[in-house]
Chains A and B, each alone.
Chain A
Amino acid sequence: QKEVEQDPGPLSVPEGAIVSLNCTYSNSAFQYFMWYRQYSRKGPELLMYTYSSGNKEDGRFTAQVDKSSKYISLFIRDSQPSDSATYLCAMKTGGFKTIFGAGTRLFVKA
């Protein structure tokens, strides 16, 4: 079993839809949870960074962490074609090593 599981998709939605991206994990020691967006042939860009459980909102993006279920989510409201990218979840304990999910490819159709 992988430490972090993420459905690779692809996920295709119409413009304006609410997108839900999810990851599950097995290591209860993870405390820091991140979401990265990666455009084709580019490096990942940090979108959201959350410590422990709870919600965090930034513009159209909301990150949720449920440590009891070992489940994290990223919601994108009013999705735009420019949101089309691969979204990587990532998490770590207190150290530096970060474990990444496989990434979910998202396509937002105009």
Chain B
Amino acid sequence: GAVVSQHPSWVICKSGTSVKIECRSLDFQATTMFWYRQFPKQSLMLMATSNEGSKATYEQGVEKDKFLINHASLTLSTLTVTSAHPEDSSFYICSASSAGTGHEQYFGPGTRLTVT
């Protein structure tokens, strides 16, 4: 089946620093990648959708200058949380999709970000 990886799985950073999270599709080419945020015991909140080689489309209320998304290749997308603050602490999950997967989304294992 389609496999998506994320790195790191857990990161702790100090307030004011930036953190980069990688999302990779391991066995298929992902034309579209999604970034979600999930708070404890809550559902997934879509942050942005990115297509390879294009600028990401951000959901309403998501600061594009704070959450930088790059989808430079068909197997890699990155999310950079800039000038992180404690309220950015959350579980960040990416997913990937392509025509080859029937447009189904396959999720990565998630990255837990803690900002101190």
User: Nearest Cβ in chain A — how far from B24, in angstroms?
Assistant: 13
CB contact between B93 and one of A44, A46, A97, A98 (< 8 Å): that residue: A44
Could you tell me if B32 and A96 are in contact, using CB atoms closer than 8 angstroms? yes
Residue from B32, B34, B107, B112 having most chain A Cβ neighbours under 10 A: B107
Could you tell me if B109 and A42 are in contact, using CB atoms closer than 8 angstroms? yes
CB contact between B44 and one of A46, A49, A88 (< 8 Å): that residue: A88
Do A44 and B107 contact each other (CB < 8 Å), given the known contacts A49-B102, A88-B44, A96-B32? yes
Do A41 and B43 contact each other (CB < 8 Å), given the known contacts A46-B105, A98-B105? no
Determine the interface band of chain A, counting residues with CB < 8 A from chain B.
20 to 34
The CA of A102 and the CA of B39, in the complex, are separated in Å by 11
Is A7 an interface residue when CB atoms closer than 8 A count as contact? no
CB contact between A32 and one of B103, B106, B109 (< 8 Å): that residue: B103
The CA of A41 and the CA of B108, in the complex, are separated in Å by 11
Is B104 an interface residue when CB atoms closer than 8 A count as contact? yes
Interface residues of A in 39-86 (CB under 8 A from B): 41-46, 49
Do A103 and B43 contact each other (CB < 8 Å), given the known contacts A44-B93, A46-B106? yes
User: Nearest Cβ in chain B — how far from A104, in angstroms?
Assistant: 10
Is A21 an interface residue when CB atoms closer than 8 A count as contact? no
Could you tell me if B46 and A97 are in contact, using CB atoms closer than 8 angstroms? yes
Interface residues of B in 41-60 (CB under 8 A from A): 41-44, 46, 49
Could you tell me if B93 and A96 are in contact, using CB atoms closer than 8 angstroms? no
The CA of A100 and the CA of B107, in the complex, are separated in Å by 13
Closest B residue to A51 using CB positions: B102
Could you tell me if B49 and A43 are in contact, using CB atoms closer than 8 angstroms? no
Do A43 and B110 contact each other (CB < 8 Å), given the known contacts A100-B43, A101-B43? yes
- Known contacts A43-B108, A44-B95, A97-B46; can you find 7 more A-B pairs with CB under 8 A? A41-B110, A43-B4, A44-B93, A44-B107, A96-B103, A100-B43, A102-B42
**Nearest 5 CB-CB pairs, A to B?**
A43-B107, A102-B43, A43-B109, A43-B110, A44-B107
